[in-house]
Structure 1
Amino acid sequence: MPVPAPNLYPPFNIVRLAYVELFVTDLIKSRTFYVDVLGLQVTHEEADRITLRAMEERGHHCIVLCEAEQPSASVLGFRLYDDPDLDKAHDWFQAQGLQVEWVERSWQGRTLRTRDPQGIPIEFYVRMDHLEPIHQKYALYRGVRPLRIDHFNCFSPNVDEAVAFYNSIGFRVTEYTEDEETKRLWAAWMHRKGGVHDMAFTNGVGPRLHHTAFWVPNPLAIIDLLDLMSTTGWLSNIERGPGRHGISNAFFLYIRDPDGHRIEIYCSDYLTVDPDLPPIKWDLKDPQRQTLWGAPAPRSWFEEGSVFAGTPVREADLKAQPIVAP
């Protein structure tokens, strides 16, 4: 199936990804990981919930950690441009036969909750409480010095279907991996904000959250994080990297939080704002696809992910095999 032509006039205007809510089993341990190790800033804290933001963000939060008996991903949040877009989104999703509801979200205005056709829970909002700028408060910088949330990647049982749906609401494909034998999509990277992606899809058992990524100042910040994690009891939480992706050209590191939720530390991708930018095609068997330097990812990277709470998963339709590290 070919990559669809970009939909330049979608039914409502999505600005960017905005936040993720994760269920964790030990909030104190998770706080240590996200605050003391990664360096995210606490914006609210209570017995069973912590909200966090990165250094350049003015919105109240980009990640919400909620204590639960079992770890899972709760929801992915996206910002819309203006209030009429919320009503347009409500009517559009309802017309597609997808359930919609208005939900109460602390520190946010009206918030619309729905699911995409594969079952990923998603929310849309326009207004979030603004906080004072802290990007020049350098005494607060620690860990990997995260600047902002950058993207989500989700396992999808049918990447062609996922791309078609997100294309219909205005996401544009920047890069994609095609299985040469079937000519079907094995993975795709789609954006709204002008980077390589706000949302990506990887072939696999799904829907599941593969990872949430945070943008950092430079590759040296990643090296500093590796030194910190390897000497403070977090060595086994380093999963993959550091390295440079072929896809996106970004410098990366993948780590796992105490419950196994995967976090990518990410920098140095490229600008994609031109609406007619042709997407870049990669072959599934190209060794430079995963890592420009040729190193393949471990099996865990292709098989493990965070389930979405209350969302059943199914096997992938496409059985093509990528290159896997021994």
Structure 2
Amino acid sequence: MAFHGVLRPGHAQIRVFDLDESADFYSRVMGLQETGRDAQRVYFKCWDERDHHSLVLRKADRAGIDCFAFKVMDTPTLRRLEGRLKEYGVATERVPAGEMLATGERVRFQIPTGHMIELYADKQRVGNGLGDLNPEAWREDTRGIAPLRMDHALLYGGDIDAAHRLFAEVLDFGLVERVKLEDGQTDLGVWLSISNKAHDIALVRHAEDGKLHHVSFMLETWEQVLRAADLMTMHRVSIDMGPTRHGITRGTTIYFFDPSGNRMETFAGGYQWYPDHDPITWTWEEVGRAIFYHDRKLNEAFLSVVT
């Protein structure tokens, strides 16, 4: 498909209690590559990502997410989308280049679920270590779970209807799947894409705003998901659910917690989506199968534990 605005998820900045403990977890167990540090933060990328970072850890006294960012095509696109946000009635803030390591100017705004979203056009290109001329298939020096990329986030908050409209009407995201509540009319959750992935961001209705359910990292195969589960057990990582399959997106998954209690996901598969596809709807009586296709029921932690 033709990319002309928002390209993809760019980075998630999450809050952790202990920077050294968390940095060790994300490098040794997750297999992310540390790319830099500043006074407050540690930066990581997945091995097949070309840009400087996709995960940022910030030391804080509570876990959760500071912001979720999307990369856009170029600076004129950033200015155009900033203008569309303002015309829509959304207050924006420009964050100067260099405030985040290796990153150009960002446009920051709050969506109706209370989450901070950022758009940016420039980030230092560091490559994936394979080069651009006659590359090999993968890097021999990867370790741990070693995901390909940071893939998406699921955010919990109140007014997901208004947030959905903002993503659709201003940033051109498409609705891929949705889950309905008991009344058959109200959305419990929506899965949105700006690419041809099954989702780039998802929103679920929740009593509190600004909550993180999970940040997801992409693996290539179901076998790598199973290997990730082995590594989590070897390192005594707290697993929430999985390995299993989603009904929504058809992806395979494990949900687990980092040392600060932030839920993460390893994810593989999922179908390709195009804007001419009709959205898939899941009814309330099938919500268990929608989320966990094999178990066909939700566990309490999955519903209630957020940061």
What TM-score, normalized by structure 2, do the two folds share? Answer: 0.90
Task: Report which stretch shifted further, 287-296 or 246-255.
Answer: 287-296
Does residue 216 (structure 1) correspond to residue 219 (structure 2)? The answer is yes
Name the aligned partner's letter for residue 13 of structure 2. E
- Cα distance in 2 for residues equivalent to 1:149 and 1:9: 21
SS of residue in 2 equivalent to 1:281: strand
CA deviations 1:141-163 (Å, max 9, x no partner) are 22222001111111121332222
- Given that residues 155 and 210 in structure 1 are in contact (C-alpha distance below 8 angstroms), is that contact kept between their aligned partners in structure 2? yes
Q: CA deviation at 1:191?
A: 0.3
- Cα distance in 2 for residues equivalent to 1:146 and 1:229: 14
Q: CA deviation at 1:99?
A: 2.2
- Given that residues 156 and 162 in structure 1 are in contact (C-alpha distance below 8 angstroms), is that contact kept between their aligned partners in structure 2? no
SS of residue in 2 equivalent to 1:19: strand
Q: Which residue of 1 aligns with 2:158?
A: 157
Name the aligned partner's letter for residue 21 of structure 2. K
CA deviations 1:27-57 (Å, max 9, x no partner) are 1110121110011111113564211001110
RMSD of aligned residue pairs (Cα, Å): 2.1
Q: Which residue of 1 aligns with 2:275?
A: 275
Does residue 109 (structure 1) correspond to residue 104 (structure 2)? The answer is yes
Does residue 204 (structure 1) correspond to residue 206 (structure 2)? The answer is yes
SS of residue in 1 equivalent to 2:203: strand
Alignment of 1:49-64 (within 5 A): 49-64=41-56
Structure 1: unaligned runs, 5 residues or longer:
1-7, 307-326
Q: CA deviation at 1:103?
A: 0.7
CA deviations 1:169-216 (Å, max 9, x no partner) are 211011111125251111110001210111101121223121110101
The sequence identity of aligned pairs, in percent, is 26
Name the aligned partner's letter for residue 278 of structure 1. D
Q: Which residue of 1 aligns with 2:232?
A: 229
Pick aligned residue for 1:129 from 124, 129, 139: 124
- Given that residues 225 and 254 in structure 2 are in contact (C-alpha distance below 8 angstroms), is that contact kept between their aligned partners in structure 1? yes
Q: Which residue of 2 aligns with 1:305?
A: 306
CA deviations 1:200-239 (Å, max 9, x no partner) are 01121223121110101212222222222222232xx111
Task: Report which stretch shifted further, 16-25 or 89-98.
Answer: 89-98
Q: Which residue of 1 aligns with 2:186?
A: 184
Task: Report which stretch shifted further, 68-77 or 90-99.
Answer: 90-99
SS of residue in 2 equivalent to 1:230: helix
Q: 1:145 to 1:245 in 2, by over 3 A?
A: same
Name the aligned partner's letter for residue 152 of structure 1. A
Q: Which residue of 1 aligns with 2:133?
A: none
What TM-score, normalized by structure 1, do the two folds share? Answer: 0.85
Name the aligned partner's letter for residue 184 of structure 1. T
Q: CA deviation at 1:117?
A: 2.7
- Cα distance in 2 for residues equivalent to 1:134 and 1:102: 32
- Cα distance in 2 for residues equivalent to 1:201 and 1:99: 21
- Cα distance in 2 for residues equivalent to 1:145 and 1:81: 27
- Given that residues 177 and 279 in structure 2 are in contact (C-alpha distance below 8 angstroms), is that contact kept between their aligned partners in structure 1? yes
- Cα distance in 2 for residues equivalent to 1:177 and 1:233: 33
SS of residue in 2 equivalent to 1:223: helix
- Given that residues 204 and 302 in structure 1 are in contact (C-alpha distance below 8 angstroms), is that contact kept between their aligned partners in structure 2? no
How many residues matched? 295
- Cα distance in 2 for residues equivalent to 1:90 and 1:181: 36
Does residue 78 (structure 1) correspond to residue 85 (structure 2)? The answer is no
- Given that residues 51 and 127 in structure 2 are in contact (C-alpha distance below 8 angstroms), is that contact kept between their aligned partners in structure 1? no
- Given that residues 113 and 160 in structure 2 are in contact (C-alpha distance below 8 angstroms), is that contact kept between their aligned partners in structure 1? no
Q: Which residue of 2 aligns with 1:171?
A: 173
